[in-house]
Amino acid sequence: MTESTNPSDYLAEHGERFTRELLEFLAIPSISALPDHAPHVAAAADWVADRLRQAGVPTVEVLSAGGVPAVFGECLEAGEAAPTILVYGHFDTQPVDPVELWTHPPFEPVIREERIYARGASDDKGNMLIPILAAEAWLKTVGSLPINVKFLFEGEEEVGSPHVEEFILEHQQRLACDYVVSADGGQWSEDQPNLLVGFKGLCAVEIDLVGPNRDLHSGQYGGTVQNPIHALARLIASMRDDQGRITIDGFYDQVITPGESDREQIATIPQDDESYANGLGVDELFGEPGYSTLERAWCRPTLEVNGTWGGFTDDGVKTVLPSEAHAKITCRLVPDQDPAMVAECIRRHVEQHAPPGVTATTTVSESGARPYLVPGDHPGNLAAGDVLQELYGSAPYYTRSGGTLPICSLLREHLDVYTVIFSFALDDERAHAPDEFFRISSFRRGQQAWSRLWQRIAETG
């Protein structure tokens, strides 16, 4: 025991030590995308496991998720009658390029103006360390947690968690819980809390068109055979109408249109379309008619061409008629769209609408993910909302994300549980970019929030 007699005082008393520990954690270059950094990912896993043990968590293991380490811990002394939650986060980071744009080396963390600058500071090391510290505060003062808590921290989230589904299936019983609370996410602003209740799913395909058996002289052969790039342009144009609505047969068949209550809730969230457009450097916004900007971003599916290539693209002129053209397309999906079904709709569309004179092939990426939506009145959201309102002095917005977080849909599918997002990153903290940072104020507020969350869940069940 320390001199502190309650978790809140303990967190305040040890705040400087916790900040130093975060700096130590951030110095580990745990870049999951680069094979040369695999030893550093393993070192980060060991650091997290040791930190859980130091906090007083009685059962801690480093497990293998397809050869990549994952850390599991559990503290189940609250008994069978108490709720059990699973805390999720990740200790891997994005690469650091372009490194010359960093003010300080990305894995030599520094504090400037009450901000910690380092790769992984906001996404997700700063945030995933917070629940460990909150658990320590309870275990070192009260002696136990008021609820049963399990921890799962993975080391490949930044590369799409390719082995996490296999890991969940292998450890279903150990991961069993009432619901998940994710330390990966964020708040709306420094003075406005947020509960993120939905993520879009993902479907990715590549389209390849092949025409003549070789590149041709455009003077000698032009006008006599189909140009695959022209064919690709026509094919892509056939997938959306002039207003942005997707024209692929069956694409919208599984889409759940947001209800009036959902739309009313979204309408309460401030959105300045003019500032939004100005910030992006565009003259006006564009998208499916009948929906607001936030509704289109959060609640409506999309089909976007991410890249096209073919023919000659270097400086100068080369009078060639190319033999091939290619495009990569991703779709962000909403409930209840199935990535496999959407991919099949695209494949059929390509087959039916490819212009004559080319052979079209559609290849589906393995990186698909289902959309995810948790009810706003889920008990975990209600508990988290109460805590956030206490700390911020205002009720949280209920928002969705146009991005994809596959872990949420996988946990829903295989453990039959929802995930509550309870994290304290902010959008301006340059996650994935040079000079990523995390506010020390958010780091400390998050500790108090998680400490209160344990108690609130215990009180509400």
Residue 374 is encoded by which pair of tokens? 């948790």
Neighbouring C-beta atoms of residue 58, cutoff 10 Å: 12
Backbone angles phi, psi at 3, to 5 degrees: -65, -25
pTM of the model: 0.90
Cβ proximity of 436 and 430 under 8 Å: yes
**Quick one: pLDDT at residue 49?**
98
Backbone angles phi, psi at 267, to 5 degrees: -65, -20
**Quick one: pLDDT at residue 5?**
84
DSSP secondary structure letters along 327-340? EEEEEEE-TT--HH
Neighbouring C-beta atoms of residue 53, cutoff 10 Å: 13
* SS3 annotation, 367-434: CCECCEECCCCCHHHHHHHHHHHHHHCCCCEEEEECCCCHHHHHHHHHHCCCEEECCCECHHHCCCCC
> Residue 193: which of 387, 420, 410 has the closest Cα?
387
Which of the listed CATH numbers 3.30.2130.10, 3.40.50.720, 3.40.630.10, 3.40.50.970 matches domain 7-199+371-460?
3.40.630.10
> Residue 183: which of 71, 337, 300 has the closest Cα?
71
Cβ proximity of 272 and 263 under 8 Å: no
Q: How many residues does the chain have?
A: 461
**Quick one: pLDDT at residue 1?**
43
- Type of residue numbered 191: D
Backbone angles phi, psi at 353, to 5 degrees: -115, 0
The span from the CA of 420 to the CA of 103, in Å, is: 35
Residue 203 is encoded by which pair of tokens? 């479907």
Q: Does domain 201-255+301-364 have CATH number 3.30.70.360?
A: yes
Distances in Å between the alpha carbon of 362 and those of 12, 84, 103, 206, 351?
57, 44, 43, 6, 9
Residue that has been written with the tokens 């969230």 in this structure: 269
**Quick one: pLDDT at residue 227?**
98
What residues does each domain of the chain span? 7-199+371-460, 201-255+301-364
Residue 411 is encoded by which pair of tokens? 């946990």
Sheet strands side by side (includes 359-364): 304-309, 324-333, 201-210, 359-364
The span from the CA of 251 to the CA of 255, in Å, is: 8
Per-residue pLDDT of the chain (461 residues; tens, 9 = 90+): 447 789 999 999 999 999 999 999 999 999 999 999 999 999 999 999 999 999 999 999 999 999 999 999 999 999 999 999 999 999 999 999 999 999 999 999 999 999 999 999 999 999 999 999 999 999 999 999 999 999 999 999 999 899 999 999 999 999 999 999 999 999 999 999 999 999 999 999 999 999 999 999 999 999 999 999 999 999 999 999 999 999 999 999 999 999 999 999 999 999 999 999 999 999 999 999 999 999 999 999 999 999 999 999 999 999 999 999 999 999 999 999 999 999 999 999 999 999 999 999 999 998 789 999 999 999 999 999 999 999 999 999 999 999 888 899 999 999 999 999 999 999 999 999 999 999 999 999 999 999 999 999 999 87
**Quick one: pLDDT at residue 160?**
85
Cβ proximity of 305 and 204 under 8 Å: no
**Quick one: pLDDT at residue 404?**
87
> Residue 118: which of 129, 190, 200 has the closest Cα?
129
**Quick one: pLDDT at residue 2?**
46
